Amino acid sequence: MARIGIHDDTSLDASLCIVSCGGVSKEGLAAYLAARKLASEQFANVVSLAAVSAEEPRTLSSLRSAEMVVAIDGCDNDCATKTLEKAGIARIRHIRITDLNGSDGEQSTRVRVRKAVEKVKEFALE
């Protein structure tokens, strides 16, 4: 049985892995916080974007064996998604925080986190 949580064991095998933006902008912070919330709920494993960029072999192996990989990007730079693609990770589901705004435009970080978490859970149910 896979352990769920923050991906501090690079040999971890999990059914759902998340790679998120690093959180520099407010949108990136929302992406990061959504990933951490899913990990704290034991819903998914969070994998380090830096480890993917560094092509850490055990991290890449874990991602390739996952049933689903979700990239949560903060903005349209899509750094998490592009990093996964460059690492050869296939079957990436993608969420962009700036796409989660309602008709009123700007939303609080808390609302964006909630919407991203809901979207990941929707992906898992498909």
Task: Judge whether 13 lies within some domain.
Answer: no
Decide if 71 is inside a domain.
yes
Which is more confidently placed, 43 or 9? 43
Inside any domain, residue 100: yes
pLDDT band for position 108 (cuts 50, 70, 90): confident
3 occurs within a structural domain: no
Residue 4 lies in a domain: no
Q: How far apart are CA 116 and CA 20, in angstroms?
A: 11
pLDDT at position 24 = 86
Distances (CA, A) of 24 to 9, 21, 60, 69, 117: 25, 8, 24, 22, 19
Give the pLDDT confidence of 77-95 residue by residue, as tens digits. Answer: 999 999 999 999 988 999 9
User: CB–CB of 58/52 below 8 Å?
Assistant: no
Looking at this protein, which amino acid is placed at residue 64? Answer: R
Could you give the number of structural domains in the chain? 1
